[in-house]
Amino acid sequence: MEKTYLDVAKSWLGQSFDAATRAEVAELIKGDPKELEDRFYRTLEFGTGGLRGVMGVGTNRMNKYTVGMATQGLANYLKQLFGGKPTSVVVSYDCRNNSRFFADITAGVLLKNGIKVYLFEDIRPTPELSFSIRHLGCNAGIMITASHNPKQYNGYKVFWEDGAQIVEPHDKNIIAEVEKITDPSQVAFNDDPALKPVMIGEEVDKAFLDSIYTLMLSPESVKRHSDMKIVYTPLHGTGSRTVYPFLAKMGFKNVIHVPEQDVNSGDFPTVVSPNPEEPGAMKMAMEKADEVGADLVLASDPDADRIGVAVRDGEGKITLLNGNQILSILFAYMLERWSQLGKLKTGDPYMVKTIVSTRLADAICAKYGVQLYSVLTGFKNIATIVRENEGRRIYIGGGEESNGFNPGDFVRDKDSAASCGLLAECAAWLMDRGQTVYGYLQEIYEEFGYYKEGLTSIYRTGKEGAAEIQRIMKDYRANPPKELLGSKVVEVIDYLDTAKTGLQKSNVLQFLAEDGTIVSVRPSGTEPKIKFYFGVTGADADAKLERLKEQFA
């Protein structure tokens, strides 16, 4: 008979678990049944990228046992795949509570399984972890982070030897091995003080910054405007390790801090959520810009892969840019500079975006005759295109609507250091033209048309919430909308239909209307929510967007 959540909880009272865990589980069993169910109704899923969840005791939580069991499954797969060959993994972690603890657990299990481990001496960003895998010649990498999630979360991202997050067949093969580990007694936790990782730090930092420095396109503009005021905040995270030194290396001499947010803290004391997409997270930096008279505000999330950007609008007000606007500016800047420098003439260059990102990127690439790939959501899919074209074509850059961008192929994930550097350099180049970043965006709209995008998320937590999200997707498949804002839906794309899309199977629906309006529906892979992405064009795009949000609320 299938175990109930209570049966599973009681199994955590056994000797495989430490005394503190057993005591906490005993108290939970006496307490709120709903809380107990949420912690034990399932095993925290090791998805295609790894683990992510709320920290705490239970099978559906991030803790030493779920992390240890995931690592044992990964170790078993690495041993199967590489046999008796020397195998190595690099481990990094961000500022979140318990990140170093989970990193040490991870390193210990790998070491006990005979796998060499490189461990960063202190917090480092996800993009540097991605870079370090190839730099050190490792077979895999692990990043302990929950990215931009709230403070109660942590996570565990697995990267492969190319520096990208795992994809087929490795993701499914690792999941299969992880699912075989059903009890902590199967985990080789490290009890040997002689087994220690190789500690790394400054040498990798230097190699990383030296590499992305070669991506600069307008060094003379930076030299002329080296005193440009830039406000940057790491939002308590790892960006302090790479973005500050990279902007300095580029030559920017007037980078202004938000001191309260330079403090590395998993409690994120100055923000409700450390997500640079959200106005609340950017508030202090934007206020600092007004205080000091800066025209550019930059930020990064806790693991410093995605960015936040604010600039002065036509009326002089500091205004937050969304991910699609950032992507459009960087696409336009990079392609214009590559064209001016004659770099588009060789190497058959290309760019990449995701299917839910702005179609303005398509128009910009078409102008320069550069191929643009559209891939499924997630930067690992952008990295797959880079891997498939390696040695044959030149990757200029790629991005996604959720504030992730990466120029060049040194990193195989989104990178805040390179992206912040590129935006600051773009601002300096525009100053040479007597123009602002906001003015440049308006120029792009004037040339290609006004594109407006939006996002609505519906949160549904717990077991019932997960089931409801699946019901919503099922209903939209059975009864797709006939119209979007009065315009007839002319195409429905179901990304479960790989024969039609030519992409891997994904639980995404897109509705395309006659007038160019597009709506994409997708359950989040990392949070308990379903996302609705909207894209509209035309002079009345702002009004259209609000009406769409009402239709799909």
Token representation of residue 21: 């865990």
Q: Render pLDDT for 26-40 as a digit per residue (tens, 0 to 9).
A: 999 999 999 999 999
Task: Tell me the pairing of strands 140-144 and 153-160.
Answer: antiparallel
User: CB pairs under 8 A, 24+ apart, for 62-65?
Assistant: 62/98, 62/102, 62/153, 62/154, 62/155, 62/156, 63/21, 64/101, 64/102, 64/105, 65/17, 65/21, 65/184, 65/187
pLDDT at site 524: 81
Question: 435 burial class (0-12, 13-18, 19+ CB within 10 angstroms)?
Answer: middle
How much is the average pLDDT of 461-471?
Answer: 84
Is residue 532 over pLDDT 80?
yes
Q: Tell me whether residue 479 is exposed, middle or buried, using C-beta atoms within 10 angstroms of its C-beta: 0 to 12, 13 to 18, 19 or more.
A: exposed
The rounded radius of gyration (Å) of the Cα atoms in the chain is 24
* Residue 452 β-bridge partners: 536
pLDDT of residue 46: 87
Mean pLDDT, residues 315-334 taken together: 97
- Cα separation, 127 vs 131, in Å, equals 6
Residue pLDDT, tens place only, 80-101: 999 879 999 999 999 999 999 9
pLDDT given at position 266: 97
Q: With 90 as the cut, is the pLDDT of residue 479 above it?
A: yes
pLDDT of residue 526: 63
CA distances to 205, 296, 383 from 464, rounded to whole Å, are: 45, 44, 34
What pLDDT sits at residue 493?
A: 96
Residues ≥6 apart with Cβ < 8 Å to 19? none
CA distance 253 to 247: 8
Q: Distance between CA 215 and CA 418 in Å, rounded? A: 8
Assign 1 a pLDDT band (cuts: 50, 70, 90).
very low
> Residue 528 above 90 pLDDT?
no
Alpha helices (runs of H) in 196-322, residue ranges in sequence order: 202-213, 219-224, 243-250, 259-262, 279-292
According to DSSP, the residues that pair with 523 across neighbouring strands are 530
**Residues carrying an active site annotation:** 147
Cβ contact 288:262 at 8 Å: no
Phi, psi torsion values for 215, nearest 5 degrees: -85, -5
Q: Is the pLDDT of residue 2 over 80?
A: no
CA distance 364 to 372: 10
Closest C-alpha to 337, from 224, 410, 430: 430
Integer Cα distance of 126 and 434 in angstroms: 36
How many whole angstroms separate alpha carbon 366 and alpha carbon 371?
7
| Nearest-angstrom CA–CA distance, 440 and 69 | 50
Q: What percent of the chain has pLDDT over 90?
A: 91
Domains, the chain, in order of start with CATH, read 42-200 (3.40.120.10), 207-448 (3.40.120.10), 452-551 (3.30.310.50)
- As a whole number, mean pLDDT of residues 129-155 equals 96
Mean pLDDT, residues 3-15 taken together: 92
Q: Is the pLDDT of residue 516 over 70?
A: yes
CB neighbours of 397 closer than 8 A, spacing ≥ 6? 330, 331, 334, 351, 352, 405, 406, 407, 408
Tell me how far apart the alpha carbons of residues 161 and 88 are, in angstroms, rounded to a whole number: 10
Which tokens is 199 given?
A: 């500690």
Report percent pLDDT > 70 for the chain: 99
Question: What pTM value is reported for the model?
Answer: 0.93
pLDDT band at 48 (very low <50, low <70, confident <90, very high): confident
Q: Are 530 and 460 in contact (CB under 8 A)?
A: yes
Residue 139: closest CA among 68, 65, 80, 209: 80
Alpha-carbon distance of 330 to 308, in angstroms, equals 13
Among 41-50, 182-191, 266-275, 329-338, the range scoring the smallest mean pLDDT is 41-50
Helix (H, G, I), strand (E, B) or coil at 145: coil
What value does the mean pLDDT of the chain take? 95
Nearest to 138 by CA among 197, 202, 98: 197
Q: Which residues pair with 522 in a beta bridge?
A: 531
171-224 residue pLDDT tens: 999 999 999 999 999 999 999 999 999 999 999 999 999 999 999 999 999 999
- CA 350, CA 221: separation in Å to the nearest integer? 25
What average pLDDT score do residues 297-322 get? 97
pLDDT at 463 over 90: no
Distance from the first to the final alpha carbon of the chain: 41
41-71 exposure pattern, b = at least 16 Cβ within 10 A, e = fewer: bebbebebbbbbbbbebbbbbbbbbbbbbbb
